[in-house]
Structure 1
């Protein structure tokens, strides 16, 4: 398949011209007045297979063989130019020059084409002296045989430039995918560490509260023991919530921030809007914004069930902003313990941003601004 594609990509103009010239020349040979018949036929026999070979890529040939083929094609057709005495045979020399430009490097191609032009001029001059005819070429016109080499060189360099551009694009795409995979692995490692820290701290706190409850219960301080147990339960609930959020981020970190929030809003039946021009957001920033949105929606569902909720994500200059609002329908979101939003405020502050939460009419509003 690769070889077939390379053959298809070859410029077909010189190949089609060579095929046409060969067929027409062979047909005309039977009626043409050949200057030296045996030499004309011998040169055609030499040039024909070389013309056929020019149909195929030469990339696998060693350099000396490519030069030999191009020079043989150019020289044989250059001598054939004045002795064939047909209307189209001289065109083979021009096609040979174009093939040299296409198959050889620039300096070698120019040398081979110039050699062909000089050979054609000498052959024309000799034939004109020994066998002058009304159709005899002038020697200086025969030098133009070398000109098509520049067309061949142009085609080859254009094909090489296109190939290099495609290869560079493919390499850039592979590099981009590799960087994306590396970034995803780094982010997953960070989230895994966060889950580990959340569970470690929460379980340590739960163990301490339970030990305290056991000690208080042994001293007959039942009320305080029960409060310690309730604190342990609250820590367990918070730990589950934090772990769920981290797992959610682990699943969504490959999506753009606006897409992740759009999916989150759809799952919570909340309105969603994006203002400004969306752009890339650092992973830490995106994670903090996602966590803040999750916490605000959780509070809205817990403390204002049934209320209308909306999420607005804004991109302005070097800042990304998030606004989560819930309307009437119950107590304002966040009027409970509020420890989740306190933790989010601290997380956002570490990134140089701010989180504000407060009443908005008869509902509640959470605003987040983080540099990006």
Structure 2
């Protein structure tokens, strides 16, 4: 089970699919037995293309893209004059744009071999093969140029995010300093004055009782002493409130994920479902500590793995799911570590429960606490 949101294919996803499907359809009138097989295989492989977000650098998407290149290229060899080369080169472009160096090298080598095969079978002039290699070079250069541009945009966004975080931290530090100053003033002036007033009123009440004063006078002093005591308690609560700076759970988790992104360079996303609300401090602490422990385990056992976190505000409870994407099913742990046991104990004290274990493509932690 994963927490990735179901999303409708993007325009780029549909374009990627169309650049494969349309050439296959145009090749059908000239197809024979083998060509029909290759057309069917290529169309079947193209079905997941719209749902693969930007052909992200993962093993399944790389294998799928290389399989499309191989099947479309084989059709181009069988039907040299068809548009199968469009599917071949367009898929190669998206591989260069998003994949790791190894799949890119395989895709370029596969293209080069297919071009040479077509040239040999057709016995064309060497200029024809050279022009096709030039097209391949242009496709690769366009993909690399687009890739570099996207990398620059990501670096710019990261720099802006860092600057915004620094400004927010500076403003927060200034606010905390001002609140600390006000808290000191309240404590040193108001709280001390109320404490002294309460003691003096208590002494005056005892003197009136000793001297046999009227019950009404003693009752009035008792009432004044009670008001002074209540005012002192409220002043102390105000000082405590000013001293504390409760950070929303969503912000705390987002900060942990931002630190993980900066540390590992991998994607780490937070999805919030339901209507966020103020949580009990113990509940918020349990949720933040759970994400912290999960990220620590990911750094230790699956460095640079992508992470998805989902925080779901349900009626009467809050559910948290942390799943890392290792690209494979991890082995079962021999025994829960101290961190996971501590997480379970903390959640159990809140009458919640924790589930952790391997998923289809990584490790998954799911906890539910009443809130």
Q: TM-score, normalised by structure 2?
A: 0.43
Which structure's relative contact order is higher, taking Cα pairs within 8 Å and 6+ residues apart? 2
The structure having more radius of gyration, on CA atoms, is 1
Q: TM-score, normalised by structure 1?
A: 0.43
